[in-house]
Structure 1
Amino acid sequence: MDLLSLIGLTVAIAAILGGQVLEGGHVSSLLQLAAAVIVFGGTLGAVMLQTPFTVFVQGLRMAVWVVVPPRIDYARLVEQMTEWGQLARKEGLLTLERYLEGLEDPFVRKGLQLLVDGTEPEKLKETLEVDLAAFEERLRAAARIWEAAAGYAPTIGILGAVLGLIHVMENLSDPSKLGSGIAVAFVATVYGVGAANLFFLPVARKLQAHIARHVTAREMLLEGFLGIAVGENPRLTAGRMEGYLA
Structure 2
Amino acid sequence: MFARFDFATLIGLVASVLVLGGVIWLGDGFRAFLNLPSLLIVLGGTLAVTLISYPLGDVLRTLPAVFSIMFRRLRDPSEAAMLAVKLADEARRHGHLALPARLQRERNEPFLRKAMQLVVDDTPTQEIERILSNDVGSQVQREKLSAAVLHRAGEIAPAMGLIGTLLGLVQMLGRLDNPTEIGPAMALALLTTLYGAILANMVLHPLATKLEHHTEEEATLNRLYAAAARSISCKENPRHLEALINSLLPPLKRVRYYAA
TM-score range normalised by the length of the shorter chain: 0.7 to 0.9
Give the Å deviation of 1:28: 2.4
Contact 2:6 2:74 in 1 (8 A): no
Q: CA deviation at 1:220?
A: 0.9
Contact 2:140 2:219 in 1 (8 A): yes
Q: Provide, for residues 167-186 of structure 1, a one-character-per-residue CA deviation record: whole Å limited to 9, x for no partner.
A: 22332322211110011011
Task: Find the counterpart in structure 1 of residue 258 from structure 2.
Answer: none
Residue 225 in 1 paired to residue 229 in 2? Answer: yes
Deviates more, 1:208-217 or 1:235-244: 235-244
Assess, with a 3 A threshold, how the Cα gap between structure 1 residues 222 and 3 changes in structure 2: closer, same or farther.
closer
Partner of 2:63: helix, strand, or coil? helix
TM-score, with length taken from structure 2: 0.79
Q: Displacement, 1:78? A: 3.1
1:34 is aligned to 2:37? yes
Give the conservation status (yes or no) of the 8 Å contact 1:70–1:210.
no
Contact 2:41–2:161 under 8 Å retained in 1: yes
- Structure 1 gaps, min length 5: none
Contact residue 6 and residue 73 of structure 2 kept, 8 A:
no
Amino acid in the other structure paired with 1:43: T
Aligned match for 2:64, one of 58, 61, 66 = 61
* Residues 9-158 of structure 1 aligned to structure 2 (within 5 Å): 9-16=13-20, 25-96=28-99, 105-158=109-162
Distance 1:21 1:92 in 2: 67
Give the Cα separation in 1 of the matches to 2:81 and 2:39. 49
Residues 35 and 3 from structure 1, CA distance in 2 versus in 1: closer, same or farther, beyond 3 angstroms? same
Percent identical across equivalent pairs? 27
Question: Equivalents in 2 of 1:209, 1:100: separation in Å?
Answer: 27
Total equivalences in the alignment: 245
Q: Which is further off, 138-147 or 72-81?
A: 72-81
More moved, 43-52 vs 192-201: 43-52
Match of 2:213 in 1: 209
Indicate whether 1:159 and 2:163 are aligned. yes
Please list the CA deviations of residues 126-161 of structure 1 after superposition, one character each: whole Å capped at 9, or x if unmatched: 332122111110111122221111010001111111
In structure 2, the partner of 1:177 is: 181
CA root-mean-square deviation = 2.9
Q: Report the Cα offset of residue 196 of structure 1.
A: 0.6
